């Protein structure tokens, strides 16, 4: 099997026809047809069902496509890295960032590092992905460090630091509650609530905190996988949303305001690396810079522990009850204030 055959296969799937694939690859239509036929003959199974006007993948073709994409992506990275090696350039720092942090906190930190002269030396690679995939990217060697929402199953990865702060409500600037000091779920019972789709326990808390127990059964909801999308929906007047404090700090949109929720709903994030691959100097500077920027700018941010599991009650409020004893008992038992 040849790489050009893989390229022909992927191009036919992308464009839907051999003719369009030939234009995309700048090859003749007979050449692409022959490459596809030769590949099928070598594989021993059919890749496409020939239907008009487009071709469609067979079940075996769909499975094979996943492997081909991995091969082509790896070859592109190998080609780029080989040029860097030939030019004597160091390998770029590779950051795996969660969707929310990659669009809010991380760009601000990198820009501040650049202004101070402590930015990256040659090349920086930022891959934005769901937090659930960051650990695997580190384990697979596809990233040098992760900036992720927590909690996560860390496995062989190491959490360098963690922090948590309360989430905030995103409202349209013209909303009647836009000028309020705090907002409660009870005040939003008749609003369309924009929630985030995620099965993890803490993310589920964040998604459902605005759904008051006494809400009408007919209360409308919009479910999205992106916090940024939720904010833009708020801006468009579709509803209200609960967002993490990093987005509230860094993702400022004209026509959208952020207000505290009267219940403490924690958002936790931190920096992760592979436990057996210590971060290099550049990666170490980024880990430290994200920490310092966050604690300098995010209101009510408190340090977390090595578990990366948020405290469900406001740590600052709990500190009021700490009278110097080693434990908190009786009336001092933390309360899960965020339960909707």
Closest CA to 69 of 77, 79, 81: 77
Closest CA to 202 of 144, 255, 240, 242: 242
Residue 327 banded pLDDT, cuts 50, 70, 90? very low
How high is the pLDDT of residue 84?
Answer: 63
More reliable by pLDDT, 120 or 259: 259
Interval 272-297 mean pLDDT: 93
User: Given its phi and psi angles, is residue 141 left (phi above 0), alpha (psi -120 to 50 degrees) or beta?
Assistant: left
- Give the torsion sign (CA, 234, 185, 165, 297): positive
Interval 167-193 mean pLDDT: 93
How high is the pLDDT of residue 115?
Answer: 93
pLDDT exceeds 90 at position 217: no
CA distance 252 to 105: 12
pLDDT digits (tens, 9 = 90+) for 135-167: 999 998 889 999 999 989 998 999 999 999 999
pLDDT exceeds 80 at position 224: yes
pLDDT exceeds 70 at position 337: no
Residue 2 banded pLDDT, cuts 50, 70, 90? confident
- In the block, which residue shows the tokens 């099965």? 199
Residue 202 banded pLDDT, cuts 50, 70, 90? low
CA distance 261 to 182: 6
How high is the pLDDT of residue 298?
Answer: 96
More reliable by pLDDT, 10 or 91: 10
CA distance 283 to 146: 10
pLDDT exceeds 60 at position 229: yes
pLDDT exceeds 70 at position 326: no
Q: Which residue ranges form the domains of the chain, and what is each CATH number? A: 3-86 (1.10.10.10), 93-164+267-309 (3.40.190.10), 168-264 (3.40.190.10)
Interval 262-288 mean pLDDT: 91
Interval 128-136 mean pLDDT: 90
Structure tokens at 279: 């971060």
How high is the pLDDT of residue 66?
Answer: 85
How high is the pLDDT of residue 225?
Answer: 84
Q: pTM of the prediction? A: 0.71
**Residues of the chain above pLDDT 90, percent:** 46
Least trusted range by pLDDT, from 161-170, 171-180, 192-201, 252-261 = 192-201
pLDDT exceeds 70 at position 323: no
Interval 259-278 mean pLDDT: 92
Q: Strand, helix or coil at 233?
A: helix
Question: Is residue 271 within 8 Å of 146, Cβ to Cβ?
Answer: yes
pLDDT exceeds 90 at position 120: no
Least trusted range by pLDDT, from 31-35, 63-67, 177-181, 329-333 = 329-333
How high is the pLDDT of residue 81?
Answer: 62
Residue 338 banded pLDDT, cuts 50, 70, 90? very low
**Mean pLDDT across the chain:** 84
Interval 60-89 mean pLDDT: 77
Residue 340 banded pLDDT, cuts 50, 70, 90? very low
CA distance 189 to 207: 15
How high is the pLDDT of residue 172?
Answer: 96
How high is the pLDDT of residue 334?
Answer: 37
Q: In degrees rounded to 5, what are phi and psi of residue 69? A: -60, -40
């Amino acid at each position: 099997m040849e790489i050009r055959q893989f390229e022909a296969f992927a191009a036919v799937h992308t464009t839907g026809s051999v003719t369009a694939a030939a234009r995309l690859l700048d090859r003749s239509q007979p050449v692409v047809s022959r490459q596809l036929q030769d590949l099928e003959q070598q594989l021993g199974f059919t890749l496409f069902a020939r239907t008009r006007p487009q071709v469609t993948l067979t079940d075996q073709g769909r499975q094979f496509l996943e492997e081909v994409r991995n091969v082509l992506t790896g070859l592109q990275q190998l080609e780029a890295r080989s040029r860097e090696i030939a030019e004597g350039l160091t390998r770029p720092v590779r950051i795996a960032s969660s969707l929310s942090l990659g669009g809010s906190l991380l760009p601000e930190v990198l820009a501040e590092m650049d202004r101070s002269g402590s930015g990256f030396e040659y090349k920086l690679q930022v891959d934005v992905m769901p937090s659930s995939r960051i650990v695997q990217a580190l384990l697979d060697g596809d990233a040098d460090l992760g900036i992720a929402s927590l909690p996560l199953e860390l496995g062989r990865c190491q959490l360098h630091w963690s922090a948590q702060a309360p989430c905030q409500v995103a409202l349209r600037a013209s909303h009647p509650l836009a000028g309020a000091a705090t907002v409660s779920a009870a005040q939003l019972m008749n609003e369309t609530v924009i929630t985030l789709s995620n099965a993890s326990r803490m993310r589920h808390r964040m998604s459902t905190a605005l759904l008051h127990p006494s809400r009408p059964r007919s209360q409308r909801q919009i479910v999205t996988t992106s916090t940024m999308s939720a904010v833009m929906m708020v801006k468009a007047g579709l509803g209200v949303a609960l967002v993490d404090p990093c987005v509230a700090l860094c993702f400022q949109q004209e026509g959208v305001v952020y207000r505290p929720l009267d219940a403490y709903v924690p958002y936790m994030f931190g920096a992760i690396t592979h436990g057996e691959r210590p971060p290099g100097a550049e990666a170490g500077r980024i880990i430290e810079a994200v920490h310092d920027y966050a604690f300098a700018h995010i209101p009510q941010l408190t340090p977390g522990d090595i578990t990366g599991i948020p405290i469900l009650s406001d740590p600052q409020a709990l500190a009021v009850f700490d009278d110097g004893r080693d434990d908190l008992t009786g009336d001092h038992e933390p309360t899960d204030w965020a339960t909707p």
